[in-house]
Amino acid sequence: MSKILLVLLPGLDGTGCLFNDFVATLPPGLDPIVVRYSTDTPLGYAKLEEIARASIPRNSPFVLLGESFSGPIAISIAASKPTGLIGLILSCTFARYPRNLFRRCYWLAPYLPVSGPAVIAARRVISPERVEPTVAAKLNAAREMVAKKVFRARIGELLRVDVTALLGEIDVPILDLRAMQDGIVPNRAGDEIRKRGQQVRAIDMEGPHFLLQAKPTEAAEAINEFVSDIAHARGGQ
C-alpha cells in the first residue's frame, strides 16, 4: 500500500495530544496529520470545521477520522466530497447526540461545572467505565490544557448538532468504531450511523469511550485493515 494520509480530528479537549500513543502504533503506510483546536477561544462547530478543512491535503489521497466530539465535523466534511477523500473513520461518536434529556438541557452548558467534586461524581453516574491509570493521567493532562469556557462551549455545541441527514450523502467507505463499554456516547449513536450510511463497516471493540487511547494497537490494526482494503479496491479499478 502506498502512503495514505490520515487526518485526525480530536475529541472534546481538542488538543490532539491524546492521539500520541495511537499515532505511535500506526504502520508506515499511514501518515498522520493531527488537527488541533484552540485551547482558550470558544468556537462553534462551523469555525472548528474551517480549522479542520484547512488541514486537509490538496493533492494526496487521505482518510478522515473524527473522534467523539469531532464526529459531526468529519461527517460534514465527508458529505461535501472533498478531493482526495477515500474513506471516513468515526470513532466513538455520533451524528446527533442520542441522550435526549441532555439535548433538551443544552442551554445549561454555559453554567456546567467542568472540574471539581461535582464533575467527579457526575462521571461516576454517567460514565462508570474504567481506564488504566496511565490513560486517565493523560486525559486529565489534556483537560488541564483547555480553558473551562472552551469545554462549556463545546458541550453546548455537541448537544445541539444534528448531521444525520448528511450521512446518506457520503459516498466513500465508512468505518464505524464503537466501544462496547462506552459510558459517554451510548452505542445507539452508532446504530444511526450504520443505518443511514451507504458503505459502513461496523466494528464493536471491547473498551471504554477513549478507545484510541485505551486500545491504540487494536484500533490501529482495524483502521489499517480498513484503509488497506480501500487502497486495494482503488487499485483494482
Q: In what order do the strands lie in the sheet with 174-181?
A: 30-34, 4-9, 62-67, 85-91, 174-181, 200-208
Measured distance between the N- and C-terminal CA atoms of the chain, rounded to whole angstroms: 15
Domains and CATH numbers, the chain: 4-235 (3.40.50.1820)
Query: Which class for 194: exposed (0-12), middle (13-18), buried (19 or more C-beta within 10 A)?
Result: middle
Asked if residues 118 and 95 have their Cβ atoms less than 8 Å apart, the reply is no
Amino acid at 103: R
For residue 57, what pLDDT is reported?
Answer: 93
* Cα 116 to Cα 135: distance, rounded to the nearest angstrom: 19
Q: Residue 83: what pLDDT?
A: 95
For residue 12, give the amino acid letter. Answer: L
The CB density around residue 107, as the number of other CB atoms within 10 Å, is: 10
**Residue-level pLDDT at 128:** 46
Separation CA 64–CA 80 (nearest Å): 13
DSSP-assigned beta bridge partners for residue 200: 174
Q: What is the DSSP string of 122-168?
A: HHHHH------HHHHHHHHHHHHTS-HHHHHHHHHHHHH-B-HHHHT
Helical H segments across the chain, by residue range: 20-24, 45-54, 71-79, 100-104, 117-126, 133-144, 148-160, 164-167, 188-196, 211-214, 216-235
What's the CA gap between 115 and 92, in Å, rounded?
A: 23
pLDDT (0 to 100) of residue 111: 44
| Spatial distance between the Cα atoms of 147 and 24, rounded to a whole number of angstroms | 27
pTM across the whole model: 0.89
- Per-residue confidence in pLDDT tens, the chain, 237 aa: 578 999 999 999 999 999 999 999 999 889 999 999 999 999 999 999 999 999 999 889 999 999 999 999 999 999 999 999 999 999 999 999 876 656 555 445 554 555 544 444 444 444 445 667 788 888 889 988 999 899 888 988 999 899 999 999 999 999 999 999 888 888 888 888 998 888 999 999 998 889 999 999 999 999 999 999 998 888 744
Supply angle C-alpha 164, 176, 140, rounded to 5: 95
Closest CA to 90 of 111, 63, 128, 122: 63
Q: How many CB atoms lie within 10 A of CB 167?
A: 23
